[in-house]
Structure 1
């Protein structure tokens, strides 16, 4: 006599990806169904599925009616995912009814729908459910094949919840193969994943499975610990169906370790809950377990009452294997009462039912062999569909990629075109701003250079003016002396006033030149001017700096060259800078050699190749070749500290460019330097 443990949770189905729905009574679901119109098919199908599950144990026929209506409505919608959901529900109902052939049929239909829909998580769930049925049918190799396929998909998609389920169901296969140690490893892996997910429902299922496998291994204390942990979780969630089974399993554990009264307490709790939820199969099992436990305790009358009630319920629900087991227990009960006729009667009934079940099992196995063939054929068809779908998808993907590439190229070219236009406009603005800024900076630098030049000329100008002022002062003293002596000579007065007038003219000229030079730097003047005149004016400004230097200055000016269009005062500034640099170079050479030599500067102007050319050459210290370009950079100077600002040639180059010209340099160290200013034809006034 063996007590029955409710190990139903060994076979775990995968719930819908939408999650578990809240518990509702059949009446409340019917009300919700009546309130939904015919338009919302999806909601109606889901309510019919829930209603079929809710009414299964109270009215199985009605439950299947709801389930078939759900599938028909889903098929009418042509929504493959909805059709798969309805087909899976029918498969689960047939599984509960122990009609595994029909269950397998609908689970394969579910797989087909999900494959067409491309619903990868539900494809994995379909493999799981097919594996569960094969496990129940005893085709463990096919069960393992489907669960491994499920596990592969879950690993590829990172579905930890699916991995927890596949580990549990692979453990189920090994427990049926009596390889309990392997089963234990898979159940533990399932529990670890469930704990990682913090999924209490999944943890409870894994704990129940661990409890059952430890019962099989006769490790009852470990089994009791796992089952009690699961019970705590199920009580929190008020899962009465699972609580009923857990009380039954805990009763079996208590009975197995010699605690019959504790076992009766658990079986009684299981019976009360089974009746409360109208779960008639669990009711029959609880009644049978109570009858057998009381029989072991010698309480025969109590035992007989439970066994008779268990027999009635099992016959009503047509649980033939359970009915055979109860008749076998009743045979033992009558034998202990020495009622051998009744014992034989019950024994024969138990044997007849078992023989019938055996024949039915053989017939079922024959049908299952055909079913397995059909399933494998269907799998081949599904695989072919997958390949066809993949090929179609691949072709569509390639076409889409080509379209995307073409559109991308068009977009890229258009974007680059727009970007180039935008950048070009931005660049034009930036260049204009930079040129304007550069022009302003050049003007500032030029002004600074002009001020520097004026500062350098200040002392020389003061000296230049001082001489005529002294002459005027002396002439005035002569007049005063002659006037005081009364010896006034008209011719003498005329000579003196002539000298004074000449000195005044000289002072006015100097002041005028300096004034024009400084004003011309600030004003934006453009006019035709004579080059040679400006060369001479420039030397007039710089001449004082050459006094007492013993530098011979030679002019070789072509009087027939055309006039130049530009700012004459800025032109003078360039020439003054050339003069000053030449003087400084000659003096630096004299200081470096510490000997006297023939110091000279030659200034030339001539017309050649449609260019007016001005040259200022000296025999000074010269410029190293590596500095021939650097000398035109602002603030670069080869002169000693405090001798030059480094702005002169930079300003000169800017002025030359304003006039469309350029500056060239020829120089050798200790030999001298030639600075050449070229003004092109477009800035020259034609000769007449």
Structure 2
């Protein structure tokens, strides 16, 4: 008994240690997913390819753990990496998977972040759709009072108005985001705000303000190793210097920016730099070189236009597929729910039928038992009735015998009564006569006593005879 108890304690301890170990492993893996996703997001402006690699690794681990929040974020961050590599069709697929995952766990903040990312995808081909997603995300963000995401959305809404050439309206949104990012001390996004505001002032022909903001953005981006903002900022600076006629400064920033664009493998940025070089060479009146870049730009623009049209179609198709998939999933869930309801309804009905059948069987058994008891009682009553009939018959016989005996005794009493009165009357009359004679003194006293004694003896003898006759049923009176 003691050995069994010790073995049980050991088993429980081992199981507890094993469970604790599994929990610790799961917690460590979850932490690894969070770390990889954060690392991937940080690299988005430096190395989008590394962003995709880290996010994919995080996604694999999160799927094994069934860690929904990690799965959704891995899809989202990987989509961002693909967006920075201009892989819009692949990006939208990841974004929609992320959105579906976050909706399943009702994570509104993450849903708003994905809506923001999808809005960025539409910036180059559908501004109305982009603004729709940004405002949808902003409504959720304002409800949650998420300052960081709110600032990002203000900046992206400003990008929409910039592309619509509504520069003052765009600047107002950039200024809003700049205030919030300054309060949050978000260095990476402050660089983006500086760049965006510099671009707006350049478009408003305020070159000095624009140059100051763009140079500051360029310097901050280099300090933070943010390759994409460096390339983008240099592109605007080159255009600014060309407009100012400072061709050497323009050539310098073009060479630097183009190197960053090639390092990023960003075809769109590279094409933008080709256009800037065309402008520079044209201003320098180097027409042969300008023509070369113009031809290159024409080919690339045609390719990009086709790509943009294809991207927009792919975005719509992917969205349609995802929505159809989501509808199918919802329909499947509804069917499963209906199947569960049907199953439980059938189970309940079957259970009720079993109960009813059980009650019927039990009732039949009780009726059979009751009928059996009633049959036994009837048989017992019949037996008792037969016994009672026999007893009654016997009693009747006894009563008949007693009646006959009483009749005989009554007759005897009647006969003996007549006989006794006849037999005793004589001695009594003699006694009475002797008593009268003795009173009158007509008889001698001794003789009178002797005669009276004889009369009494006769009476006594008659009484004894009568008693014997009454007790002897064999004798009858004459």
Q: Distance in 2 between matches of 1:85 and 1:217?
A: 31
SS of the equivalent of 2:245 reads coil
Change (3 A) 1:393 1:129: farther
Residues 108-507 of structure 1 correspond to what in structure 2 (within 5 A)? 108-113=96-101, 117=104, 119=106, 121=108, 124-125=111-112, 128=115, 131-132=118-119, 135-136=122-123, 138=125, 169-170=131-132, 172=134, 190=138, 194=142, 199-209=146-156, 211-212=158-159, 215=162, 220=167, 223-361=170-308, 364=311, 371-372=318-319, 374-388=321-335, 390-391=337-338
Shift of residue 338 of structure 1?
2.1
Structure 2 contact 120–156 (Cα < 8 Å) conserved: no
Q: Distance in 1 between matches of 2:248 and 2:107?
A: 57
Q: 1:96 aligns with which of 61, 84, 88?
A: 84
Structure 2 contact 116–133 (Cα < 8 Å) conserved: no
Q: 2:54 aligns with which of 51, 66, 81?
A: 66
Q: Work out whether 1:55 is the aligned partner of 2:43.
A: yes
Change (3 A) 1:103 1:396: farther
Shift of residue 268 of structure 1?
0.2
Q: Distance in 1 between matches of 2:329 and 2:185?
A: 40
Structure 1 contact 191–206 (Cα < 8 Å) conserved: no
Q: Distance in 2 between matches of 1:223 and 1:137?
A: 16
1:629 counterpart residue number: none
Shift of residue 107 of structure 1?
3.0
Q: Distance in 2 between matches of 1:76 and 1:267?
A: 45
Shift of residue 309 of structure 1?
1.9
Quick check: which one's strand share is greater?
Answer: 1
Shift of residue 263 of structure 1?
0.8
Structure 1 contact 111–126 (Cα < 8 Å) conserved: no
For structure 2, the 5+ residue unaligned runs are 1-23, 350-478
Shift of residue 81 of structure 1?
4.6
1:628 counterpart residue number: none
2:93 counterpart residue number: 105
Point out the structure with max Rg over C-alpha: 2
Q: Distance in 2 between matches of 1:356 and 1:70?
A: 34
Change (3 A) 1:312 1:48: closer
SS of the equivalent of 2:64 reads helix
Deviates more, 1:314-323 or 1:55-64: 55-64
1:662 counterpart residue number: none
Quick check: which one's helix share is greater?
Answer: 2
Shift of residue 387 of structure 1?
2.0
Of structures 1 and 2, the one with the larger relative CO (CA 8 A, separation 6+) is: 2
Q: Distance in 2 between matches of 1:264 and 1:44?
A: 42
1:56-100 deviation per Cα after TM superposition (whole angstroms, max 9, x unaligned): 444444333322222221222234454334333333332333322
1:433-472 deviation per Cα after TM superposition (whole angstroms, max 9, x unaligned): xxxxxxxxxxxxxxxxxxxxxxxxxxxxxxxxxxxxxxxx
Residues 26-37 of structure 1 correspond to what in structure 2 (within 5 A)? none
Shift of residue 220 of structure 1?
4.8
Structure 2 contact 85–266 (Cα < 8 Å) conserved: no
Q: Distance in 2 between matches of 1:134 and 1:225?
A: 22
Structure 2 contact 232–257 (Cα < 8 Å) conserved: yes
1:445 counterpart residue number: none
Structure 2 contact 80–117 (Cα < 8 Å) conserved: no
Equivalent pairs, count: 326
Change (3 A) 1:242 1:397: farther
1:611 counterpart residue number: none
- RMSD (CA atoms): 4.0
Q: Distance in 2 between matches of 1:119 and 1:363?
A: 33
Shift of residue 264 of structure 1?
0.5
Q: Distance in 2 between matches of 1:302 and 1:55?
A: 30
Shift of residue 114 of structure 1?
5.0
Shift of residue 337 of structure 1?
1.9
- TM-score w.r.t. structure 1 length? 0.41
SS of the equivalent of 2:225 reads coil
SS of the equivalent of 1:258 reads coil
Shift of residue 286 of structure 1?
0.8
Q: Distance in 2 between matches of 1:366 and 1:127?
A: 20
Structure 1 contact 320–353 (Cα < 8 Å) conserved: no
Q: Distance in 1 between matches of 2:44 and 2:160?
A: 29
SS of the equivalent of 2:270 reads helix
1:45 counterpart residue number: 33
1:146-165 deviation per Cα after TM superposition (whole angstroms, max 9, x unaligned): xxxxxxxxxxxxxxxxxxxx
1:638-661 deviation per Cα after TM superposition (whole angstroms, max 9, x unaligned): xxxxxxxxxxxxxxxxxxxxxxxx
